[in-house]
């Protein structure tokens, strides 16, 4: 295994500010800047002006959010979904996605500002530095056509496998 001498390290900055009932986390890196404010259940201030989180769940949420933001500003999040079914088509019109998934009408939704969308045939590739926005957008798209467990059609993740049920046995 060879290592290059001039290997550049990924650089990021993370700032956080704890207040009475909230914490504001700001991460910046080569991909962009993410800020998020989390509500806290209870914060105790010591005589030395040190903050203590009384609830263990709050600290776990803060650490998890920081990890997600660091990964987002360093590499980003990419999710791929595919339309499985005869005649299922997706089109991108300006900043809206229009899906034809077997209904008598088209289903359309506006693409969030932070999410980049690329369409390759019946496959949709979504990318963003904010994990929360891209996953909520994917769940919205998946709600347009539920998976048919008898045929295996619908809107699926790229690695998602459907266990088919048997139909009527005569």
What domains can be seen in the chain, in order of their start residue? 12-74 (no CATH), 77-157 (3.90.930.12)
Quickly count helices (H) and strands (E) in the chain: 2, 12
Q: Which residues of the chain have pLDDT under 70?
A: 1-10, 49, 51
Amino acid 96: pLDDT:
93
pLDDT of residue 8: 54
pTM, two decimal places: 0.82
Closest CA to 77 of 36, 24, 119, 138: 138
pLDDT of the residue at 9: 57
Q: How far is C-alpha 87 from the geometric centre of its chain's CA atoms?
A: 27
Q: Taking the chain, what is the end-to-end CA distance rounded to the nearest angstrom? A: 61
Query: Position of tokens 């704890």?
Result: 18
**pLDDT for the residue 4:** 47
pLDDT at 70: 87
């Amino acid at each position: 295994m060879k290592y290059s001498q001039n290997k550049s390290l990924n650089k990021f900055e993370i700032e956080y500010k704890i207040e009475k009932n909230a914490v504001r986390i700001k991460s910046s890196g080569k991909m962009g800047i993410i800020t998020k404010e989390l509500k806290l259940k209870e914060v105790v201030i010591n005589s030395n002006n040190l903050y203590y989180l009384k609830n263990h769940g709050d600290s776990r949420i803060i650490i998890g959010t920081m990890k997600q933001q660091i990964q987002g500003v360093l590499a980003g999040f990419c999710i791929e979904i595919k339309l499985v079914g005869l005649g299922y088509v997706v089109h991108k019109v300006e900043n809206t996605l229009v899906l034809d998934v077997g209904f008598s009408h088209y289903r359309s939704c506006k693409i969030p500002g932070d999410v980049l969308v690329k369409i390759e045939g019946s496959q949709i590739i979504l990318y963003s530095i904010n994990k929360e926005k891209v996953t909520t957008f994917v769940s919205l798209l998946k709600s347009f056509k539920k998976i048919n467990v008898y045929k295996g059609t619908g809107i699926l993740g790229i690695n998602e496998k459907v266990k088919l049920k048997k139909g009527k046995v005569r």
